[in-house]
Amino acid sequence: MESVQAVKQRFGIIGNDPGLNRAVEKAIQVAPTDISVLVTGESGVGKESIPKIIHSLSHRKHGKYIAVNCGAIPEGTIDSELFGHEKGAFTGATATRSGYFEVADGGTIFLDEVGELPLPTQVRLLRVLENGEFLKVGSSKAQKTDVRIVAATNVNMAEAIEKEKFREDLYYRLSTVEISLPPLRERHEDIHLLFRKFASDFAQKYKMPTIRLDDAAHDLLLQYRWGGNIRQLRNIAEQISVLEQNRTITYETLKGYLPNVGSNLPAVIGPKKAQSDFSNEREILYKVLFDMQRDITDLKKLTMELMNSGNAAQVKEENTSLIDKIYSQEGDHHSQLAAIVEEESPQTHNVEVVSYPESAPEPSEDKYHFAEEIEEEESLSLHDKELELIKKSLEKYDGKRKDAAKELGISERTLYRKIKQYNL
C-alpha cells in the first residue's frame, strides 16, 4: 500500500493539513474494495482527485474511468446519457445508444454533483447499486453491469433528504464510506503554499518572473475566506501573474483582485443594516397592535351585549371562543409587546409603547393605517363596563370568585387579576 505522501505527490495534491491527509488515507484504504464512496465538501476543494486515487489503486485500474457531471446534463437526457436508449425510444433517437454504465463495465464511474440528480434517475441508480442491473430508456430488458460508483456532492444531503429532493435509501447506499474534504479556509497553513505553487506554474507557463507577496499581502491572503476554495485561489494567482507588471504584490494590489473582501473579513453590522432590521421589527409590532385592537373591539361588543341582554349565560355560550381567546392568556398583550421592544431596542430606536388598552401609536406612513386609534367614544366606556360587570357578578354570588368567573366566562385566575387591578 502506497503512503499518503507518495499518493499526494503522484496526483499533485498540495498541502499537509490533517483533514486533507485523513481524506487521502481513507481513499487509499477503501480503494482495493468495491464498496461505494461518497466524497463531500464545498465547491472547489478538489473532490475530483479522490475518485482518481481510488480507481488507480483498485483492481479496476485497467478498466475505464468515466467522470460524469450530473449537474451539467439536462434532466430530459440524463437517463439516456447514464443508461443508454433504444432506437425510437424518443424523438431524435435514431439509433441504439450505450450509456455510461454499459461503457464503463468493469471500471469506475465518478458521479460528480450527484445531489443534482432528478428523482426518477435516482430510482434507476439505486437499482444499479442494489443488484447491478439497469434498463435502457425505451427497453424492458434488464442488463447487467459491474461498475464501481464513486459520487461527490457539495449539497447538504441531510437538508436535501428532509426536503425530499434526494432519496434517503440512495444516500445510504452511496455513502458506505464517506470522505470529507475540508474547505481552504480551514487549511490555514496550506493557503500560501498553494499560492506559491500556482504562481510558479503560471510563471513557467507564460514565461515570466514569479510573483511574490509582501508581508501585508501575505496576511490578507490568509485572512480571506476563499468561498471558491482552491479553484478561486488558482484563478487569482493566474490573474495576478498575467496582469501585474510589478512582481512584488502589495496589500492594495491583492485586495483589488479579491471580490467582496470587506464581507469576507470580520466586520461589525453597519447602521443601515441595523435600521433595516428594526424596520422589519416595527412592522411586526404594528401588526400585533392591529390584532390587539380588533380583539378589543370584539370584547366591547360582547360587553354591550351582556349589559343589554337579560340572558348573560346565552351570550356567554355563543361567544365562548372569543372569551377564551382574549382572557385565557396569562399576561397582558401590551406588557409582552413592551418587553419585546425594550429587549430589541433599548437605546438605539425612538419607540414609544403606549399602555394597553389605550390606542396604538400614530404611524408615520400610510402602510400602517391598520394601527389607527380606536374611536374615543368607544374607549371611554370599556373600563367602566368591565368594572361594573365584575362588581355585579361578585355581588350576585356573594363574593365567590369561582362562580363569578364562571358567570363572566373567564378563568378564576383572570378574575383574581382583575379584582387586584381594580382594587375591588
- Residue 381 lies inside a defined structural domain of this protein: yes
Establish whether the linkage from the previous residue to 357 is cis, with ω within 30° of 0: yes
pLDDT attached to residue 369 = 45
Are 85 and 138 within 8 A, CB to CB?
Answer: yes
Range of the domain at 31: 4-182
Judge whether 268 lies within some domain: no
pLDDT at 59 over 90: yes
The answer on 283 and 402 residing in a single domain is: yes
What's the pLDDT tens digit per position in 160-205?
999 999 999 999 999 999 999 999 999 999 999 999 999 999 999 9
- Average pLDDT of 399-407? 82
Task: Report whether pLDDT(244) > 80.
Answer: yes
Q: What is the pTM of this model?
A: 0.62
SS (H, E, C) the chain: CCCHHHHHHHCCCCCCCHHHHHHHHHHHHHCCCCCCEEEECCCCCCCCHHHHHHHHCCCCCCCCEEEEEHHHCCCCCHHHHHHCECCCCCCCCCCCECCHHHHCCCCEEEEECHHHCCHHHHHHHHHHHHHCEEECECCCCEEECCCEEEEEECCCHHHHHHCCCCCHHHHHHHCCEEEECCCHHHCHHHHHHHHHHHHHHHHHHHCCCCCEECHHHHHHHHHCCCCCHHHHHHHHHHHHHHHCCCCEECHHHHHHHCCCCCCCCCCCCCHHHHHHHHHHHHHHHHHHHHHHHHHHHHHHHHHHHHHHCCCHHHHHHHCHHHHHHHHCCCCCHHHHHHHHHHHHCCCCCCCCCCCCCCCCCCCCCHHHHHHCCCCHHHHHHHHHHHHHHHHHHHHHCCCCHHHHHHHHCCCHHHHHHHHHHCCC
Decide which of 48 and 298 is more confident: 48
Across 50-76, average pLDDT = 95
Please report whether residue 265 resides in a domain: no
Q: Which residue has the higher pLDDT, 298 or 334?
A: 298
pLDDT at position 41 over 50 = yes
Report the pLDDT averaged over residues 295-301.
Answer: 74
Q: pLDDT band at residue 71, thresholds of 50, 70 and 90? A: very high
Same domain membership, residue 43 and residue 176: yes
178 domain-assigned: yes
- Do 26 and 168 share a domain, yes or no? yes
Which of these three, 132, 166, 182, is where a domain ends?
182
Q: What is the pLDDT of residue 326?
A: 54
Written as nine digits, the cell of 58 is 483498485
Residue 277 confidence (pLDDT) above 80: no
Overall number of domains in the chain: 3
pLDDT in tens, 109-152: 999 999 999 999 999 999 999 999 999 999 999 999 999 999 99
> Which of 20-34, 51-65, 178-192, 326-340 is predicted with the least confidence, judged by mean pLDDT?
326-340
Q: Do 235 and 317 sit in the same domain of this protein? A: no
Regarding whether 292 and 412 lie in a shared domain, the answer is: yes
What radius of gyration do the chain's Cα atoms show? 35
Q: Are residues 177 and 190 in the same domain?
A: no
348 — phi, psi (to 5°)?
A: -80, -15
Question: Is 27 in contact with 53 (CB distance < 8 Å)?
Answer: yes
Q: Are residues 284 and 359 in the same domain?
A: yes
Amino acid at 311: N
For residues 163 and 242, state if they share a domain: no
Instruction: Give yes or no: residues 226 and 281 share one domain.
Output: no
- Please report whether residue 194 resides in a domain: yes
pLDDT at 351: 40
Euclidean distance between the first and the last CA atom of the chain, given in angstroms as a whole number: 89
Considering 120, 148, 182, which residue would you say is the last residue of a domain? 182
In the prediction, which pLDDT does 338 show? 52
Do 63 and 116 belong together in one domain? yes
The CATH number assigned to the domain holding 246 equals 1.10.8.60
Is residue 263, in this structure, part of any structural domain at all?
no
Q: Are residues 85 and 221 in the same domain?
A: no
Q: Is pLDDT of 23 > 90?
A: yes
Looking at every residue in the chain, the average pLDDT score rounds to 82
Distance CA 34, CA 128 (A): 13
Residue 272 confidence (pLDDT) above 90: no
Say yes or no: 313 and 404 in one domain: yes
